[in-house]
Amino acid sequence: MTISVGDTLPDADLIRIGSDGPEAVSVKSLTDGRKTVIFAVPGAFTPTCHSAHVPSFMRVFDQLKEKGVEDVICVSVNDPFVMAAWGDSTGAARAGIHMLSDAQSAFTQAIGMDFDAPPAGLIRRSKRYAMLVNDGVVRLLNVEENPGECEISAGETLLSQL
């Protein structure tokens, strides 16, 4: 079942690189009592993700904060080391975006956002989406029909809806 506006996010662990290496962080701890933006990409360093999606959230990061968003989180079905390197190379980590790994695709599958694109080497990856979550409940959800597009899931689009 695909997650919808009004649904509560399932609790799953995502992985980040902490001071001692990889560490799990629960979706619940990231969203309970908080206004959070979560956006997901099919893969770190892939063309649209790298040149359009992450930069769109970097451009509107401060404006999202002004609208009361406490955290902006990027999720991808990549390992946490790749996500950390990607956050460094794009400047997203310095901008304040949390680059989190859903290495086993558990969160992505739990919310029904998984897809496969074998010709591109993408298996059990995440659809491209952006959501506003308030206290663990999805308040806005923008899902791209085509994983190579970044229009309705872009940072500017989500900002315009707040």
CATH classification at residue 125? 3.40.30.10
Q: Known catalytic residue: 49? A: yes
- Domain range for 134 is 13-161
In a domain, 77, yes or no: yes
Query: Domain tally for the chain?
Result: 1
Residue 58 near residue 92, CB atoms below 8 Å: yes
Flag whether 71 is in a domain.
Answer: yes
In a domain, 154, yes or no: yes
User: Would 37 be classed as within a structural domain?
Assistant: yes
Question: Strands 129-134 and 137-143, how do they pair?
Answer: antiparallel
pLDDT at residue number 157: 98
Q: According to the model, what pLDDT value does residue 96 have?
A: 97
- The residues, any chain, with a CB within 8 Å of residue 24's CB and separated by 6 or more, are 13, 14, 15
Is residue 29 very low, low, confident or very high in pLDDT (cuts 50, 70, 90)?
A: very high
| 7 in any annotated domain | no
- As a whole number, mean pLDDT of residues 98-119 equals 93
Instruction: Say which of 49, 73, 74, 131 is annotated catalytic.
Output: 49
pLDDT tier, 103 (very low <50, low <70, confident <90, very high otherwise): very high
Taking the model in full, what pTM does it have? 0.95
Q: Which residue has the higher pLDDT, 122 or 129?
A: 129
- Quick check: is 155 in a domain? yes
Between 48 and 118, where is the model more confident?
48
Containing 57, the helix (H) or strand (E) segment is: helix 54-66
Q: Output the pLDDT for position 91.
A: 97
DSSP assignment string, 71-124: EEEEEESS-HHHHHHHHHHHSHHHHT-EEEE-TT-HHHHHTT-EEEEGGGTEEE
Q: Please indicate, yes or no, if residue 111 is contained in any of the structural domains.
A: yes
